[in-house]
Structure 1
Amino acid sequence: MLRLSILEQAPVSEESAPEEALRNTTRLAVEAEKWGYHRIWFAEHHGSEALASSSPEVMVAHVAAKTSRIHVGSGGVLLPHYSPFKVAENFHLLENLYPGRIDLGIGRAPGGMPGATRALNDGMRWDLKDYPRKVRDLIGYLTDHLPDGHPFQSVHATPLARRLPDIYLLGSSDGSARVAAETGTPFMFAHFINPNGGAEVVRAYRSAYQPSEAFPEPKASVCIFVVCAETDQEADRQASTLRYWMVKASQGRSVPIPETSKAVHYHPAAWERDQIKENEARIIVGNPQKVRIELEKLASMYQTDEVMLITNIFDFQAKLRSFELIARAFRT
């Protein structure tokens, strides 16, 4: 049976505040556990008025304390900004606090506009070329097995944990997939960011996979925007706020999720209509049965037994209902 999981960015709705978005995120995690979702991950975004999840490690600790079974993790820690040693210590600590429930998703995106990226690095240069080395070092610290000759071979990322967190590399292109294959690490493709060529990227990842002690077999999954309601019409109405927000985000505007009536009555420019049409490949919208069919098609395309869902819409109650309806659809 297809496993369902959630990626949460803690979206801030118009006329709302980040603290409300974070309360909603916590409630979503509690309800998702009841509905049988396998894991919930928290994103890392900086300098954003629209997304309140700037520190996934803090969100993981908070939500893991409010739940008891669901896997809780990062989607993901943006490793180019940080010391692999510090990330390993954070997640060893989390794994000791919540054994068997912690996931470590690792990303390489900047996580914000250029100014926020520079501030995050205290003005120092941000270099993606060092990302593969940082991934290898992070895995070495997590497994307490750095290679001979490593300058920090004698250093241990404490507190050591009896079990490794589930590690995933996240990406929307073949770059992170190659690193995941080379390091013997599971891979999550961000279809909600890039709907083109993902299945081919995942096939190439599996073909090039180099088994590791922790992960002897390749493991891949996919994440997509989803909006579900009792009827196609209601799902489409709720999804209008996501479509509006996505268009503004493509313009480099970090704006809160718009109120539903504002989005429904918005008249996009011609080029925005083209953008909205292109974005439809990143979204599944519809009634529960339709959504189930489309998710199963997506899982088949990616040859995965797990799909991660993200739902950034204005109405939080409608968002909760969307996740509940999808969970029920997969139980029937």
Structure 2
Amino acid sequence: MKLSVLDQSVIRKGENASVALQNTVKLAQLTEELGYTRFWVAEHHNTIGISGSSPEVLISHIASKTKKIRVGSGGILLPQYSPYKVAENFKMLETLFPDRIDLGIGRSPGGSPTTRLALTDGVRRSLNDFPRKVQDLQGFLSNQLPLDHPYHEVTAYPVSGKSPDIWVLGITHRGARVAAENGTAFTYGHFINPENGQKAIDYYYEHFQPSSLQSTPKVNVCVFVICAPKQEKAEEMALSLDRWLLSVEQGSDTRILSIEEAKRMKLTAEEQKRVIENRKRMVIGTPAKVKDELQRLSEKYQTEEIMIITNVYDFQDKVQSYTLLAEALK
């Protein structure tokens, strides 16, 4: 099984974005040494507890601080942007770091309606335009826009020998359909929606159409994972993630709490139900237990690659989790 990483550069309560971003770079260097396949960073806006607002900049920095691990976005919020500019950014990255760049793209609005309007400078853009933008992005990356396309004579520079790999991120069969019809790789967000994954991936494999940039289907699945030497320790670490997800869902302060603060937090009956429901998005336990659960998910989702996201308070706990997992799956 291949292991990869998605990191959201979450800010710990009492610290700042600078520390969170430094830890993201340290984690990329560590997971490269441990043999992880790729390291992706997220895009979030107007969110107090997540510092990753510009994945293109962060990708460049991480790639310059590592040697061989693939680095990419999970993912660029394409509905808000010009496909031409996204293509230029990632062709630049691919030229600087050949055969190491992944371009993950998603349909998410990126935040509240006001935040989205700020991203588009007041232009109201439809999320339903996402499939067309994926096609335009592929055309700019490959320099193969149709002859009747209004931007056919526009070239995305720099021109190099290879384009970055494109991954469409999805949490329903809609994302799987866009990936399949356009011949891109597909990432399923189990850490967001654990219910629809099998249906989405079955659809992707059944309907995949080869493209000029990718000839065969390729899938990975992203899962919240917390791994510790003992089950009790892993469950304790997960308390911070439980409370953090509640904050994300409620739109409140999304800085991640310490275990002690999480224990002191009083939950309503409804919040307790949400914690139980959110645990379906996670794999929590000892290396042996986590290994078994990930192998089960690998078989269910028909993929050899699992992408790990570990949002816990203590950075050393996070380091230990990724280390134990890599050792368990050697």
TM-score exceeds 0.5: yes
The farther-off stretch of 25-34 and 106-115 is: 106-115
Answering whether residue 327 of structure 2 is matched by residue 328 of structure 1, we say yes
The match for 2:242 is: 243
CA-CA distance at 1:226 after TM superposition: 0.5
The match for 1:122 is: 121
The match for 2:198 is: 199
Answering whether residue 212 of structure 2 is matched by residue 213 of structure 1, we say yes
| 1:64-123 alpha-carbon deviations (Å, 9 max, x no partner) | 000001000011111011110111011111011000100000011012222211211112
Distance in 2 between the 1:111 and 1:260 partners?
29
The match for 1:223 is: 222
The match for 1:80 is: 79
Distance in 2 between the 1:247 and 1:112 partners?
16
For 1:153-172, list aligned pairs within 5 A.
153-172=152-171
The question of whether the paired residues in 1 share the 8 Å contact of 2:176 and 2:186 is answered with yes
- The ranges of structure 1 where at least 4 consecutive aligned residues each deviate by more than 2 angstroms after the TM superposition are 264-267
The match for 1:98 is: 97
The match for 1:6 is: 5
| 1:42-68 alpha-carbon deviations (Å, 9 max, x no partner) | 100000111100011011000000000
Distance in 2 between the 1:233 and 1:130 partners?
47
Distance in 2 between the 1:212 and 1:121 partners?
29
Distance in 2 between the 1:116 and 1:153 partners?
32
**Structure 1: segments with no counterpart, 5+ residues:** none
The farther-off stretch of 169-178 and 108-117 is: 108-117
The match for 1:62 is: 61
Distance in 2 between the 1:233 and 1:267 partners?
21
The question of whether the paired residues in 1 share the 8 Å contact of 2:171 and 2:196 is answered with no
CA-CA distance at 1:214 after TM superposition: 2.2
- For 2:208, the aligned partner's letter is Y
The question of whether the paired residues in 1 share the 8 Å contact of 2:173 and 2:196 is answered with no
The match for 1:142 is: 141
Distance in 2 between the 1:275 and 1:199 partners?
23
Answering whether residue 192 of structure 2 is matched by residue 188 of structure 1, we say no
Distance in 1 between the 2:114 and 2:230 partners?
42
Q: Report the secondary structure of 2:102's partner residue.
A: strand
The question of whether the paired residues in 2 share the 8 Å contact of 1:237 and 1:264 is answered with no
- For 2:283, the aligned partner's letter is I
- For 2:24, the aligned partner's letter is T
Distance in 1 between the 2:190 and 2:151 partners?
37
The farther-off stretch of 55-64 and 209-218 is: 209-218
The question of whether the paired residues in 2 share the 8 Å contact of 1:177 and 1:201 is answered with yes
The match for 2:44 is: 45
CA-CA distance at 1:317 after TM superposition: 0.9
Answering whether residue 225 of structure 2 is matched by residue 233 of structure 1, we say no
Q: Report the secondary structure of 2:39's partner residue.
A: strand
- For 1:40, the aligned partner's letter is F
- For 1:109, the aligned partner's letter is S
Q: Report the secondary structure of 1:193's partner residue.
A: coil
CA-CA distance at 1:266 after TM superposition: 2.7
- For 2:246, the aligned partner's letter is V
- For 1:183, the aligned partner's letter is N
The match for 1:302 is: 301
Distance in 1 between the 2:51 and 2:61 partners?
14
- For 2:329, the aligned partner's letter is F
Distance in 1 between the 2:95 and 2:253 partners?
36
CA-CA distance at 1:18 after TM superposition: 0.5
Distance in 1 between the 2:253 and 2:68 partners?
34
The match for 2:130 is: 131
CA-CA distance at 1:254 after TM superposition: 3.9
Q: Report the secondary structure of 1:205's partner residue.
A: helix
- For 2:3, the aligned partner's letter is L
Q: Report the secondary structure of 2:329's partner residue.
A: helix
**Structure 2: segments with no counterpart, 5+ residues:** none
The question of whether the paired residues in 1 share the 8 Å contact of 2:109 and 2:127 is answered with no
TM-score when normalising by structure 2? 0.98
TM-score when normalising by structure 1? 0.98
Distance in 1 between the 2:126 and 2:46 partners?
20
The question of whether the paired residues in 2 share the 8 Å contact of 1:171 and 1:177 is answered with yes
The question of whether the paired residues in 2 share the 8 Å contact of 1:178 and 1:205 is answered with yes
